[in-house]
Amino acid sequence: MSFKQRFNALREQVNIRLYDSRDFVLGALSRLSFLVALSTIVSLIIFHGYQLTEEQNQTIGLIVRASIGYYLVKFIIEIIYDFHPWAFIKARRWEAMLMVFLLIDILTINLQGVELLSLLGDAIGVSSLQSGFVLLLQFYVMIIVFLEFGKVGERLPDFNLSPPSLLIISFIILIALGTTLLMLPEMTAGAEALDFVTALFTSISASCVTGLSLIDISTVLSFKGQIIVMILMQLGGLNIISFAALFAILRGGFGMRQQNFMSENLGESMQQSGKLVGAIFRLTLTIELFGAVALGLVWFPHFDSLGNTMFHSIFHSISAFNNAGFSLFSDSLATPGAAYLPNVHWIIAVLIVLGGIGFGTLSDVLAQPWRKQSVVRSWRGLRLGTKIGLSVAGILLVVGGAVFALTLSFDGNVGTHLSHSFFQSITARTAGFNTIDIGAMAMPALLMMIFLMFIGGGSGSTAGGIKTSTFALVFLSAAATIRGKKDINLYKNKIPWELMNRAFAVFLFAIVFIFLGIFTLTILEPEMAFLELAFEQVSAFCTVGLSTGITADLSFGSKVVIMLSMLVGRVGTLTLAFALSGARPESNAFTYPKGNMHVG
């Protein structure tokens, strides 16, 4: 009998002996996992949020070690109880690789007294990686907890919630967690913790990738607080539901039901939804990594350490790609010294553009064989939405840059003036960074910026606004009506009226909500200029984050209006689009006679 046959016979005997206890053991492990994950997360929050004694730190370390040991034992038991252990390991290969790395690290620590992350920290000069065994274990625990979170992604369809409802709930949960964390004492650089309103405002702004802030996060927040803001930007920009789907994929639990659910969420076909989820994270990590490296190379001579350079580079790369607009400099990119560098401005601008044109558009562009065929033929191979998004984005960039070049004050240097003009044209499309003082801009420039903020970025992107596709369809419809055309044709495609109705619904919803917000702000802030209030409201609803400088001076009621606008602006238009995209049965049994009236 061969080794394989003997092994299969042994496995069969083991399966028979363990079969009766299989459901009980695996069920108990699953239930216990939730308690272990919850206790570990609470312990880590206490560890990082408060000043603790040495004994309390040791207790936290014990809890983290115990959780690591539990997950390691749990994974081994699951392999033993599985009928096909090799298939189980293959399906959960990421978790298996983590467990193998953990075992190797435990052996090196106990046999050689060496921590792998400490070696890495010594090699690159980053002291934060050398803070001991507890930090090392925290790193492992968070990855394992995130993989456990993949169970939620597997069960998303079981919640019996529509994608719009689940989207809103996910943002509310994210905002609540962010607020709680930002209120902890260790999240601020000073002696006092953030009050509830300030923490809530900051959490909403970061989660909704807006960038408006009541405080200067570069001086008020500690390193830990800035990390929380960075995480909120990443989770909010990419949509927390997509993260749940990603971890479900990593656990091997992304089946047909999950594909169907995510197709509704992403607005893609079932076949494309699973691929797009993976592509979103591959593109995001790749672009943010290259952006951070590019910023680091420019900034390195201006910072005192490699660790400081790395953190600033990673933070601004994530903020720019997610179109969040948060900066670790008091005056954003207009700060003299490290921030005020032309190369930095254009690296940030490229990240903003890539994050704002949409993941579907990026994937479609990268899928074309540009090197193997002509540009014209590759352009023809793009999807209709990609062509519209790229065309409108290019037109708005040129028109906005030209308008700003004519309306911004001239500083005597043509190159610098044009650089500032086109950067403002890019950042106004929901990015929130600025290289000049927004409050000092003339009225024509502010009006142009409001127009660009209202349009926003591409569909399926990290940007806000009504989106370039919505603006294009509304504009084309108006042009077709004026020219007396019945149908709207674009790139040899007929635009269906169902799509036009959705565009008009999103456009009208945005107009009405912005108007109501401005109306309320004028009542609550009678002493402030109308244009400043209108700019603030459009910036909040369109999740831009640019401000004329009045955010911190707003009353409590006005802050509530701005916070609600940021949340509704981030999920409102998406929710409305999802709701309208749902198929509803229509009755064709009868039709009403056509009505007629004067319009205009």
> Is residue 447 predicted with pLDDT exceeding 90?
yes
Across 162-171, 266-275, 502-511, least confident range = 266-275
> Is residue 277 predicted with pLDDT exceeding 70?
no
**Between residues 262 and 424, the one the model is more confident about:** 424
Give me the DSSP letters along 365-427. HHHS-TTTS-HHHHHHTS-HHHHHHHHHHHHHHHHHHHHHHHHSPP-S-HHHHHHHHHHHHHH
Three-state secondary structure call for residue 357: coil
β-bridge partners, 494: 489
Model confidence at 141, pLDDT cuts 50, 70, 90, reads low
Helix axes 414-427, 443-455, angle to 10 degrees: 40
> Is residue 126 predicted with pLDDT exceeding 90?
no
Please give the pLDDT value at position 270: 46
pLDDT in tens, 66-78: 887 888 888 888 8
Model confidence at 178, pLDDT cuts 50, 70, 90, reads very high
Model confidence at 226, pLDDT cuts 50, 70, 90, reads very high
Please give the pLDDT value at position 583: 46
**Amino acid (one-letter) located at 19:** Y
Cβ(536)–Cβ(547) under 8 Å?
A: yes
Cβ atoms within 10 Å of 299's Cβ, excluding its own: 21
What are the structural domain ranges in the chain?
Answer: 1-154
**Between residues 285 and 17, the one the model is more confident about:** 285
Q: Which single residue is written with the structure tokens 């096909």?
A: 84
> Is residue 382 predicted with pLDDT exceeding 80?
yes
Model confidence at 600, pLDDT cuts 50, 70, 90, reads low
Please give the pLDDT value at position 516: 95
Instruction: Determine the Cα–Cα distance for residues 367 and 362; give it in Å rounded to an integer.
Output: 8
Query: Which CA distances in Å does 243 have to 151, 157, 280?
Result: 12, 15, 10
Model confidence at 484, pLDDT cuts 50, 70, 90, reads confident
What average pLDDT does the chain have? Answer: 80
Mean pLDDT, residues 391-416: 88
Q: Which single residue is written with the structure tokens 């601004």?
A: 316
Instruction: Determine the Cα–Cα distance for residues 600 and 598; give it in Å rounded to an integer.
Output: 7
Structure tokens at 171: 């943002």
> Is residue 260 predicted with pLDDT exceeding 60?
no
> Is residue 136 predicted with pLDDT exceeding 60?
no
Model confidence at 34, pLDDT cuts 50, 70, 90, reads confident
Model confidence at 107, pLDDT cuts 50, 70, 90, reads confident
Percent over 70 (pLDDT), the chain: 78
Three-state secondary structure call for residue 158: helix
Give residues with Cβ within 8 angstroms of 307, minimum separation 6: 125, 126, 127, 128
> Is residue 345 predicted with pLDDT exceeding 80?
yes
Instruction: Determine the Cα–Cα distance for residues 553 and 198; give it in Å rounded to an integer.
Output: 12
Please give the pLDDT value at position 536: 94
Q: Which single residue is written with the structure tokens 């069960």?
A: 155
Cβ atoms within 10 Å of 439's Cβ, excluding its own: 13
Helix axes 256-266, 240-250, angle to 10 degrees: 160
Model confidence at 129, pLDDT cuts 50, 70, 90, reads very low
**Between residues 248 and 81, the one the model is more confident about:** 81
Ramachandran class of 320: left when φ > 0, alpha when ψ lies in -120 to 50, beta otherwise: alpha
Residue 33 sits at the vertex; the CA angle it makes with 66 and 43, to the nearest 5 degrees, is 50
Cβ(117)–Cβ(129) under 8 Å?
A: yes
Please give the pLDDT value at position 144: 64
Cβ(547)–Cβ(539) under 8 Å?
A: yes
pLDDT in tens, 200-216: 999 999 998 898 999 99
**Between residues 85 and 554, the one the model is more confident about:** 554
Model confidence at 132, pLDDT cuts 50, 70, 90, reads very low
Please give the pLDDT value at position 106: 72
Cβ atoms within 10 Å of 595's Cβ, excluding its own: 5
Instruction: Determine the Cα–Cα distance for residues 50 and 176; give it in Å rounded to an integer.
Output: 19
Instruction: Determine the Cα–Cα distance for residues 480 and 473; give it in Å rounded to an integer.
Output: 10
Model confidence at 250, pLDDT cuts 50, 70, 90, reads very low
Comparing CA positions, the residue from 174, 167, 173, 175 lying closest to residue 261 is 167
Please give the pLDDT value at position 133: 47
Across 48-52, 201-205, 569-573, least confident range = 569-573
Across 65-69, 178-182, 414-418, least confident range = 65-69
